[in-house]
A and B are shown apart, each in its own frame.
Chain A
């Protein structure tokens, strides 16, 4: 375990170093003069401004020098200044990051809470109407892109029914949860959570579809195993057989692909944020691309990558606790 952890951390450092290198080199890779491109349509942008930005971006430095200066800056928390927002990129990201993390985590919770019971029930009732409806919904769930589902939900729950807000975010759900518990007022939590419902559901939908199918098929495999027959034969109640003995082992493959889905979830969050005007990193990044705000793109990609790498390591270590049989030494 210790050796595995060390190797995993070294790998992660290597990945982060590679990302830093690519991100730093962005300045050199963009064809043409980016500063001139940024200046288009901005008459207040003088030649002195352009020269200052070029200096800031490190366009006048050599490749090696630029990489060293850029990396050194990172250790001091220096992520460059957004040209469009006229603020340090670090400040902008710090403002938006919690929104993205909360959205992703709430979506993941949605996905788990829905996928497990759907998978178990469709497996137990294999071939029934419930199973067939599940199959149909899963087929649809994989085929419908999250951004489209989000818009369809806005049409139903906002435009038609008027139940939920179409966009925006009303503060942190964690803070709301805290206040709601302290003041014994569930209304506070709801006020924050109602903004989360549609974006998180749109983000979770395809993962629910994939995972519920996976849990269903592994459940079906497990139920046929000898040890399950044995538990049944010794007279354990059906519920105990399914939940305590079968589900436990059926969950392992789903947990294993959770790591792969993390990247998918982050990509999805970046897209969904733009559907619901969610004030997170995804919107910031898309705006940065459209405005050709290079320092801001560099900073968002870098921060997102580091967070992603850190999360993947965490997920890896969580498996270890769930399934001690996983032999890390051999990977």
Chain B
């Protein structure tokens, strides 16, 4: 986080207060907030599951065992502890599939968030710093895209490239980059007039250096808060696209597709929907709680929406 000579915090104050390191402060804030703690634990579990998915999965997620078709969860009649939450219509172990699908969701979300953070922030920074014609044109585009239905953009891209992993990444990136552009632009507008930036400019620091060394670090808290909250939205959108058959394609397991499979067997095998459904909701709740905590602690100016 920002510290040292590139921010507007005078170096002397750091010495006088002898502030604890960022990590120590972060952990202290986290322990004080039950909301943040719950969210943090869920995110750690989520990331660990994604990273270790093949090791954690008790079975091969694509292995079809005919005799296991529609096997109920362990607590139900006919269920077995070997397949804790049952098996699907093709006799594949549901728990293993939910675990592997976690990796799919996290991968998609991380790729998309990195793309839109870099691209959106760059656009916002340039637009806010230089202003003028380019700025007003870009902001028109942003305003328009913020309200334009995501699904219509996605359909256009799907029509061109067909459903698949890369189309999904592109569609989600196109849909969500505007949030970052808008946020970074409005922060840049404020910082541009700040005294420390004026000072830097007066001693002849280049535009690029001012933007990257002086303005960008000060927008980081807001960027991180937005990124956290956006990840939940991206995961939900990915699940929705995969549910429609327009996102992740088989045989890669994804929560949305698993729910779509289960939708056909609601009368007899309701458990096919419960595992992936539970995973989505817990993930989204956890990320939102943690994001709210980050915002309340580090960026209280951002409104509730």
Q: Which of B144, B147, B163, B259 has the most A CB atoms < 10 Å from its CB?
A: B147
A159/B267 contact (C-beta < 8 A), A213-B304, A263-B150, A301-B152 known: yes
Mask: chain A, 143-162; 1 = CB below 8 Å from B; 0 = not: 11111100110110011000
Task: Decide: A286 and B259 in contact? CB cutoff 8 A.
Answer: no
A180 interface residue (CB < 8 Å to B): no
Q: Name the segment of B11-19, B192-200, B214-222, B284-292 touching the other chain.
A: B284-292
Total count of chain A residues near the partner, CB < 8 A: 54
What are the residues of chain B within 8 A of A192 when measuring CB–CB? none
Choose the segment among B51-59, B103-111, B236-244 that binds chain A (4+ C-beta atoms closer than 8 Å).
Answer: B236-244
B203 to chain A, nearest CB (A): 36
Q: Does residue B280 face the partner (Cβ distance < 8 Å to A)?
A: yes
Roughly how many angstroms separate A308 CA and B153 CA in the complex, as a whole number?
A: 13
Judged by a CB distance under 8 angstroms, whether B115 is at the interface is no
Tell me how many residue pairs across A and B have CB atoms closer than 8 Å: 126
Chain A's closest residue to B262 (CB) is A151
A71 cross-chain contacts in B, Cβ below 8 A:
none
- Asked whether any CB of chain A lies closer than 8 Å to the CB of B158, the reply is yes
What secondary structure prevails in chain B residues at the interface with A? helix
B270 touches A145 (CB 8 A): no
Determine whether the beta carbon of A210 is less than 8 Å from that of B259. no
Q: Say yes or no for B156: interface residue by CB 8 A criterion.
A: yes
The verdict on A270 contacting B273 (CB below 8 Å), with A15-B144, A147-B259 known, is no
A289 x B246 contact (CB < 8 A): yes
For A301, give its contact among B156, B239, B288, B289 (CB under 8 Å).
Answer: B156
Q: Do residues B159 and A312 form an inter-chain contact, with CB atoms below 8 A?
A: no
Whether the pair A266, B240 counts as a contact (CB closer than 8 A) is no
Residues B236-257 near A (CB distance < 8 A): 236, 239-240, 243-246, 256
Of B150, B159, B245, most buried by chain A (CB within 10 Å of CB) is B159
Establish whether residues B144 and A266, one from each chain, have CB atoms under 8 Å apart when the complex forms.
no
Which residue of B159, B161, B267, B280 contacts A294 across the interface (Cβ within 8 Å)?
B159
Verify B243–A144 contact, CB threshold 8 A. no
A residues less than 8 Å from B150 (CB atoms): 263-264, 267
Query: Which chain B residues in 284-305 approach chain A with CB under 8 Å?
Result: 284-285, 288-289, 304-305
In contact, B284 and A151 (Cβ under 8 angstroms): no
Kindly state whether residue B190 has any CB partner on chain A within 8 Å.
no
The contact size tier of chain B is: 35 or more
Partner of A139, one of B160, B267, B289: B289
In the complex, the answer to whether B246 meets A147 with C-beta atoms within 8 Å is no
Interface: A6 (CB within 8 A): no
**B281 within 8 Å of A by Cβ?**
yes
- Say yes or no: A154 contacts B266, CB within 8 Å: yes
Q: Which residues of chain A have C-beta atoms less than 8 A from B305's C-beta? A: 210, 214, 257
Chain A's nearest CB lies how many Å from the CB of B224?
20
Cα A148 to Cα B146 with chains together (Å)? 24
B140-154, CB < 8 A from A: 144, 146-152
A residues near B160, Cβ cutoff 8 Å: 26, 29-31
The 10 A-B residue pairs with the shortest CB-CB distance, nearest first, are A143-B284, A267-B151, A263-B149, A266-B149, A143-B285, A297-B159, A267-B149, A270-B151, A263-B147, A145-B236
Report B's interface with A, CB cutoff 8 A.
144, 146-152, 155-156, 158-163, 232, 236, 239-240, 243-246, 256, 259, 262-263, 266-267, 270, 273, 277, 280-281, 284-285, 288-289, 304-305
Question: Contacts A286-B246, A289-B246 given; 17 further ones with Cβ under 8 A?
Answer: A143-B236, A144-B281, A151-B266, A152-B273, A155-B270, A155-B273, A260-B147, A264-B149, A267-B152, A274-B243, A274-B244, A275-B263, A290-B246, A297-B155, A298-B159, A301-B155, A305-B148
Could you pull out 18 A-B pairs where Cβ atoms are within 8 angstroms?
Answer: A15-B144, A23-B156, A29-B160, A30-B159, A31-B161, A139-B289, A144-B284, A145-B240, A145-B280, A146-B240, A148-B280, A152-B273, A155-B270, A263-B146, A263-B149, A270-B151, A289-B246, A308-B149
